[in-house]
Structure 1
Amino acid sequence: MSCLALPAHALPSPCDGGQVWEDRNGNGLREDDEPVLPGIQVSDGVDVVRTDANGEYRLPIVGGRTVFLIKPAGYDLPARRDGLPDFWVHVQPEAGPPLKYGGIPEAFPSCRDFGLRPRAAQAGDAALDVLLFADSQVKSAQDVDYYRRDIVQPLAGRHGAALGLTLGDVVDDDLSLYPDVLRTTMSLRVPWLFIPGNHDLDFDAATDEDSLRTFRRHFGPDTFAWEEEAMTFIGLDDVIYRPGKTPAYFGGLREDQFAFLQAYLPTVRKDRLLVIGAHIPFFEEGPRGFRAADRERLFALLEDFPHVLLLSGHTHGQRHWYHDAGTGWHGGTPLHEYNVGAACGAFWSGVKDAEGIPDSTMADGTPNGYARLSVRPGGGYALSWHPARDAADTGIGLHAPKVLRQGAYPAWGVFANVYMGDARTKVEYRVDGGDWKPMKRVEQPDPRVMVENMRDDLADRLRGYDRSPEAGPSPHLWRGALPTDLPAGEHRVEVRAFDRWRGELTASTQYRLEAAGP
């Protein structure tokens, strides 16, 4: 029953199904000794069906959809020629609409077979390690080079992850860069899943339904599910495109996505972590924020799951959000959303370092980089943020004045930006090995970013291609007053933060006291 994509003139009659089998030797062809797999779920983004006793499935032929396999736990998928996991086929009896960046120009049959490779059994307590990227958002070949050297290359061959996710804005409107970004990302040699963002749209599409055709041609379905032993992952396109209107998009979900969720979620195990990934944060308010009615409707579908984590991008900042009744969540405990910082940081801006890569610290003081998710059996998980090419990787950025007058009123302080911190994080400091004292959480701009803003303002010529972003209030900034009643000279300041997942994190700096007369 195998049906492959062929040139339009050679297309077979449209078919509405296929077969799933155990590809034991990984050659992509079913051999006589390779059994079919009953009970495997396949979807077109609306309906969800299971393969029968012969490993066969049937789905209606609806042009414009993408049929995808929901990879079950315990199996791997073969890789396509571009390195992506091979789990989809487009449903398109005729060529799609002409679009600037190509869309899906060719016709596709609506059927195909899927081979699954059995995975070697793992220990029952084995964790699943996942790389999380958000907003690589390249706008040129130069930005792709930054992405490669700053984010991808340092991870290649040493990341140890079993899965990778990109949470939207793969590019910055120039969809011709998709192949370069894909080639760069797949050099990490790990199955990778992509979710679209608002800068991944075909802006010349006439409808929201057609606005992700180029994205889907390169990366597969815009809404999908993927299962591992410790985690079920659902990726959702949550950008509603409105051609010719203002705003041009807002956050929300389509009716077909709700149909998929209503069909699929009842089949999902509740003893593993359920992760929902999207681009626009579910907490985002305003004209381009996430539609409240859709959020409440989604949350109602998730309410009975005891272990849920939401992942989002889009803001080019980083924060933890805990949904409660105020945002439509009525579960027994707050629903955690981790808004992941951007791989491109502040859009690849700021002064370049010795390697020729822009600083790109975000407006909230978080350095650009990537996150990691470690999922444990039973629904537990750990998160961490890793600044790009930071060998120290302390998780804390410090700012303090270099010199103060001995005996001056202690009006100046040390600031600690704890990148993964939130209102419950305990942060302390001490001077010269003295007693640890609590630091106060302050929602104000990080002074380190403000310093860059001032340097840009005072410069007679551009310091970089784009300035550093204007500093904005940071949700993970702490302050401690620096004593001035100590002897003249250098004084060491130590800061420690108690991260709920990584434990105690430490960083240090110093300042100098000088004796001075009026």
Structure 2
Amino acid sequence: MRASLIVLVLALLTVPAHALPPPCSWGQVYEDRNGNGTREAGEPGLPGIKVSNGIQIAVTDARGEYSLDYIDGRTLFIIKPAGYDLAARPDGLPARWRNLQYHAGPALKYGGIPERQPDCTHFGLRPRAAVKDGALDVLLFADSQTSSVTDVDYYWRDIVQPLVGRHGAALGLTLGDVTNDDLSLYPQILRTTMSLQVPWLFIPGNHDLDFDAAGDEDSLRTFRHHLGPDTFAWEEEAATFIGLDDVIYQPGGTPAYFGGLREDQFAFLQAYLPTVRKDRLLVIGVHIPFYEPGARGFRPQDRERLFAMLEDFPHVLLLSGHTHTQRHWYHDASTGWHGMRPLHEYNVGAACGAYWSGIKDAEGIPDTTMADGTPNGYARLRVDAGGAYALSWHPARDADGSGIGLHAPRVLRKGAYPAWGVFANVYMGDAETRVEYRIDDGEWKPMKRVEQPDPRLLVENMRDDMAEVLRGYDRSPEAEASQHLWRGALPTDLAEGEHAVEVRAFDRWQGERSARTSYRLQVAEP
């Protein structure tokens, strides 16, 4: 008998790889009562849970079992339902996915997806107590975009560390460009981000690609190995989140990438959206903004196709990154949206600001103000029951908290023509925001919205131009027209001396915000 067994083993060893039994194409979802991520006796299967390979969606049966077509090189993931938590992987990320790589994949500089014999994929869900009032708080990061371990340290000290142990959020989302082409930094970025101890979801950007991949289909293998699926869904009591890779890579092409969606993503959306509840907020997260024009912008036909699939949802919010500026955009028929009211897209400012550029402060961290005058930082999303939401922007290590950046001349000649003004950069403002100012506690007057560069950044540009040596590793970005800048003329017919300037803005979500500065009038002779 021993001889027969040896013969059988030797025979199996000589069978070519393509003739081996196929990988497991089924799995189970179970109630992980102790939260250890391993199914144990007494932990029952959970019916009605959705699992996907990014194209198809399977729903678990009465025993918690599901079956999907096996597709080598794809990512299998659970769509976490509301009211449950997932166990954490060793790296801190929620245990929500498994990459399927049976045969060797393409050789890539940063590793791609390691080859292995996948086992049957099981997912454990732990029931969670209902959230009081059903509200959800989410941290929103975009473009941490680190090029080196030095940048990772900036990201830690400037963005993450001030939030550790005090953020109160239940979920985190990064909207692409996690790093800046150096994918070897993923483990460090991940370790830093997961110190926030909250489930985190990552969406890829154009700087998260395997640039040595032969085509778009293999360009996110390293991202998927470290950070999870490039297309996913995640459900909470107050909101449903869908993350979509919207970077179409064209190796050797011009441009090298553009914004758009793949056919497999549309297949996933076609299968998933009919199951999504319409009485809560639907959040669609991408990297390249849907409104982005030009050769690298979002493909109009893909945008219109997606928008048509979203028209019946009464509560939708679009989130994007990529621009290293910040603005609100309201889609209408001109961009292919035909819903009952404009579709809101919030283009989130960058955590790295202007790529960690500018002069360093006393802590050794670059100023890194963005080209539209917005300071680097992060956003927060609060979602309430019924689809209502609120957004806010939080500059890194901000002690002010006003959400307004002011610029005014320090001194003007008393009696001069009032040609100089105070500028207010209202970081979360848009065309409908009401902004007012007053001098010395006088009457409130409206400020005028202007689309021009923020003078504060123009000053930095001039200082960089005039410097004989570099003021920092990289100089501040060239100032560009801001979409949230207001101006008010400063009177020169007041008394000689110091005059207080107060600005207030009425934020639709945060209420009245205010900031103060001053200028001085001086008597001068010709």
State TM-score, norm by structure 1. 0.97
For residues 319 and 92 of structure 2, what CA distance do their matches in structure 1 show?
24
Superposition deviation, residue 27 in structure 1? 2.3
Q: Show CA shifts across 1:267-311 (max 9, x none).
A: 000000000000000000000000000000000000000000000
Q: Match of 2:453?
A: 445
Superposition deviation, residue 12 in structure 1? 8.1
Q: Match of 1:358?
A: 366
Superposition deviation, residue 126 in structure 1? 3.0
For residues 453 and 109 of structure 1, what CA distance do their matches in structure 2 show?
54
Superposition deviation, residue 36 in structure 1? 1.1
Is it true that 1:507 corresponds to 2:510 in the alignment?
no
Is it true that 1:115 corresponds to 2:141 in the alignment?
no
Instruction: Report % sequence identity.
Output: 79
- Equivalent residues of 1:362, 1:469 under 8 A apart: yes
- Equivalent residues of 1:89, 1:111 under 8 A apart: no
For residues 194 and 326 of structure 1, what CA distance do their matches in structure 2 show?
30
Q: Match of 2:12?
A: none
Does the residue aligned with 2:312 lie in a helix, a strand or coil? coil
State TM-score, norm by structure 2. 0.96
Is it true that 1:25 corresponds to 2:34 in the alignment?
yes
Q: Show CA shifts across 1:292-344 (max 9, x none).
A: 00000000000000000000000000000000000000000000000000000
Which residue of the other structure, out of 213, 216, 219, is the alignment partner of 1:205?
A: 213
AA aligned to 1:410 is: P
- Equivalent residues of 1:89, 1:110 under 8 A apart: no
Q: Match of 2:160?
A: 152
Superposition deviation, residue 467 in structure 1? 0.5
User: What runs of 5+ residues in structure 2 fail to find an aligned partner?
Assistant: 1-16
- Equivalent residues of 2:44, 2:63 under 8 A apart: no
For residues 253 and 13 of structure 1, what CA distance do their matches in structure 2 show?
30
Is it true that 1:418 corresponds to 2:455 in the alignment?
no
Does the residue aligned with 2:196 lie in a helix, a strand or coil? coil
Which residue of the other structure, out of 326, 349, 352, is the alignment partner of 1:341?
A: 349
Q: Which runs of 4+ in 1 moved over 3 A?
A: none
Does the residue aligned with 2:476 lie in a helix, a strand or coil? coil
Q: Show CA shifts across 1:57-114 (max 9, x none).
A: 0000111210100000000000000000001111221121110011113224263111
Query: Which is higher, the Rg of structure 1 or of structure 2?
Result: 2
Is it true that 1:139 corresponds to 2:134 in the alignment?
no
For residues 335 and 363 of structure 2, what CA distance do their matches in structure 1 show?
44
Does the residue aligned with 1:116 lie in a helix, a strand or coil? strand
For residues 463 and 478 of structure 2, what CA distance do their matches in structure 1 show?
12
Is it true that 1:35 corresponds to 2:44 in the alignment?
yes
Is it true that 1:479 corresponds to 2:487 in the alignment?
yes
Q: Match of 2:10?
A: none
Is it true that 1:516 corresponds to 2:500 in the alignment?
no
Which residue of the other structure, out of 472, 491, 505, is the alignment partner of 2:499?
A: 491
Q: Match of 1:368?
A: 376
- Equivalent residues of 2:134, 2:237 under 8 A apart: no
Which residue of the other structure, out of 76, 97, 118, is the alignment partner of 2:85?
A: 76
Which residue of the other structure, out of 216, 220, 228, is the alignment partner of 2:228?
A: 220
AA aligned to 1:33 is: G
- Equivalent residues of 1:230, 1:377 under 8 A apart: yes
Which residues of 2 match residues 20-419 of structure 1 at below 5 A? 20-109=29-118, 111-123=120-132, 125-419=133-427
For residues 118 and 406 of structure 1, what CA distance do their matches in structure 2 show?
69
- Residue-pair matches, total: 508
For residues 476 and 48 of structure 2, what CA distance do their matches in structure 1 show?
53
For residues 514 and 27 of structure 1, what CA distance do their matches in structure 2 show?
71
Superposition deviation, residue 13 in structure 1? 5.1
- Equivalent residues of 2:139, 2:378 under 8 A apart: yes
Q: Match of 1:3?
A: none
User: What runs of 5+ residues in structure 1 fail to find an aligned partner?
Assistant: 1-7
